[in-house]
Amino acid sequence: MSQEKLLEITNLKQHFKTGRHSVVKAVDGLTFDIYKGETFGLVGESGCGKSTTGRTIIRLYDATDGQVLFDGEDVHGKKSRSELKKFNREMQMIFQDPYASLNPRMKVEDIIAEGMDIHNLVNNDEERKNRVHKLLETVGLNREHANRYPHEFSGGQRQRIGIARALAVDPSFIIADEPISALDVSIQAQVVNLLKQLQKEHELTYLFIAHDLSMVKYISDRIGVMYFGKMVELASAEDLYKHPMHPYTQSLLSAIPLPDPDYERSRERFTYDPNDHDTSEEPEFREVRPGHWVLCTTKEFDHYKKEHGTSVKN
């Protein structure tokens, strides 16, 4: 992983009106960077805003406020058709539901080649077919699958088709929005290992969105934890697991089961209560130690510094 920023997100907000006077703050002031070549894991419970964050980054939603810079360029700024086309090629998405994300009326060859056709990446039908066959083999399928329809495949195979479709335009950044949550446990590891392999082969950068912290730790370099539209903690995967600071992160980690029945019977789960927080001031995202950020008040910040060692400037 390099230290060159590919994505810079500053105070990103995505608010939805649900009535005349009601607003849902799905994403409420996120600030973080993603470096070239890394996998940034984004975790949190259902409804916390993590999928909305991904969809806003890729412009499926227009941001309510804030800035998203991709390779130094403003994603949500005014763009010409050619600029949008270039951006759409560089950034792709793998969706959560492998059943709903593929057009049932299209053959696999046409599904995968759709991006190639839009971006004029092939010169003739033969080249188009050969590239589709190569992509199918890259994701662990075979060329005979090109003439079939989505309903003829299992969930894991469909997700591999979705991955091939994302790779078809040679992107540099892929948002994987809970790509394994709809799959059997036995298939999940296969898909994650495939994503790791493709990252090395194609020099990809990932935003990996999920709620399974154990799987996110396995694939991610750094992890951001979201709670009700805000990021409450951000650190390297290893540091987050060894030294979770925010009570919500601690509650997520305590919910991960371990393959030890005796230990599981006796251990206590940690339940997060947001009312237990210091309410004397509005919490800010602060760097407690190098690379480890926590949403906290000044009082909580001083406590975290004392408890977790080396501090940095506020």
Contact status, residue 225 vs residue 249, Cβ threshold 8 Å: yes
Structure confidence at residue 261 as a pLDDT band (50, 70, 90): confident
Q: Give residue limits of the domains in the chain.
A: 5-243, 244-314
Query: What mean pLDDT value characterizes the chain?
Result: 90
- Residue 118: count other Cβ atoms within 10 Å of its Cβ: 13
Classify strands 292-296 and 230-236 as parallel, antiparallel or unpaired: antiparallel
Structure confidence at residue 54 as a pLDDT band (50, 70, 90): very high
Structure confidence at residue 311 as a pLDDT band (50, 70, 90): very low
Q: What pLDDT was estimated at residue 180?
A: 87
Q: What pLDDT was estimated at residue 151?
A: 93
Structure confidence at residue 314 as a pLDDT band (50, 70, 90): very low
Say yes or no to pLDDT of 52 above 90: yes
Q: What pLDDT was estimated at residue 268?
A: 74
Q: What pLDDT was estimated at residue 136?
A: 96
**How many Å apart are CA 215 and CA 30, to the nearest integer?**
23
Say yes or no to pLDDT of 97 above 90: no
User: How many residues appear in the chain?
Assistant: 314
Contact status, residue 222 vs residue 38, Cβ threshold 8 Å: yes
Q: Summarize the confidence of residues 227-244 as an average pLDDT.
A: 94
Say yes or no to pLDDT of 202 above 60: yes
Say yes or no to pLDDT of 155 above 60: yes
- For residue 135, give the 3-state DSSP assignment: helix
The second-level CATH assignment, the architecture, of 5-243 is: 3-Layer(aba) Sandwich (3.40)
Classify strands 205-210 and 222-227 as parallel, antiparallel or unpaired: unpaired
Contact status, residue 293 vs residue 233, Cβ threshold 8 Å: yes
Q: Where are the alpha helices (DSSP H) in the chain?
A: 50-57, 81-90, 108-118, 125-138, 155-167, 185-202, 213-219, 237-242, 247-254, 261-266, 298-307
- For residue 90, give the 3-state DSSP assignment: helix
Backbone torsions φ then ψ of 8, nearest 5 degrees: -125, 115
Query: How is residue 41 written in tokens?
Result: 């894991």
Q: Summarize the confidence of residues 222-251 as an average pLDDT.
A: 94
- Indicate the DSSP class of residue 40: E
* SS3 assignment for 166-181: HHCCCCCEEEEECCCC
Q: What pLDDT was estimated at residue 276?
A: 75
pTM of the model: 0.91
Say yes or no to pLDDT of 2 above 80: no
Q: In what order do the strands lie in the sheet with 222-227?
A: 91-94, 173-177, 205-210, 39-43, 222-227, 230-236, 292-296, 284-289
Choose among 277, 295, 299: nearest CA to 233: 295
Q: Summarize the confidence of residues 100-124 as an average pLDDT.
A: 94
Axis crossing angle, helix 155-167 with helix 108-118, rounded to the nearest 10: 20
Say yes or no to pLDDT of 60 above 50: yes
